[in-house]
């Protein structure tokens, strides 16, 4: 048995601490890594599902922005412009810069990268009876999705 002498609580002496071969934990590690990767993929998928793609977000912001302008809600529209535009124009000048005659309809968007930053150009058609005008809003991610300029349709 053991060379240890002395009174023991139990008659059979102290049990050895390590009685068998070590257990292989590779399966547990692989399962843990796999579960982590699965959770990451599901979170990215969930973001797209609940927030929408970059194109969806840009087109939604452009729609809200143009409808706010038409309704005369310059406070909402001004909240949706980027910091550069805020420095350039006041809320009173906003309609003069962006508003066109007619009802705005977002017709699509295209994405590019400028200086390693994503930019979306959102096309808006303004239907005014029989006439229509097309503009293109520049939309950038800046503390949320923000309108950062306009140009004649492209």
CA angle 96, 147, 60 (to 5 degrees): 110
Query: Which residue ranges make up each domain of the chain?
Result: 53-152
Residues 65-85 have pLDDT tens digits of: 999 999 999 999 999 999 999
Q: Judge whether 126 and 133 are in contact, CB under 8 Å.
A: yes
- Give the per-residue pLDDT at 95: 87
pLDDT in tens, 15-41: 666 677 777 778 888 989 999 999 998
At the top level of CATH, the class of 53-152 is alpha beta
**Computed from CA positions of residues 112, 115, 118, 119, in that sequence, does the dihedral angle turn out positive or negative?**
negative
Is the pTM value of this prediction over 0.75? Answer: no
């Amino acid at each position: 048995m053991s060379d240890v002498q002395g009174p023991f609580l139990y008659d059979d002496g102290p049990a050895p601490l390590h009685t068998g071969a070590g257990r292989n934990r590779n399966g547990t590690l692989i399962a843990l890594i796999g579960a982590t990767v699965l959770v990451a993929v599901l979170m990215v998928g969930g973001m797209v599902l609940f927030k929408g793609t970059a194109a969806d977000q840009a087109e939604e912001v452009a729609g809200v922005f143009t409808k706010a302008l038409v309704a005369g809600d310059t406070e909402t529209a001004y909240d949706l412009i980027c910091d550069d535009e805020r420095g350039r124009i006041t809320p009173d000048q906003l309609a003069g810069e962006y508003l066109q005659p007619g009802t705005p309809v977002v017709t699509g968007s295209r994405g590019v990268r400028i200086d390693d930053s994503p930019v979306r150009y959102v096309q808006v058609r303004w239907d005014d009876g029989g006439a229509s005008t097309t503009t293109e809003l520049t939309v950038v991610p800046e503390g949320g999705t923000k309108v950062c300029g306009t140009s004649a349709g492209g």
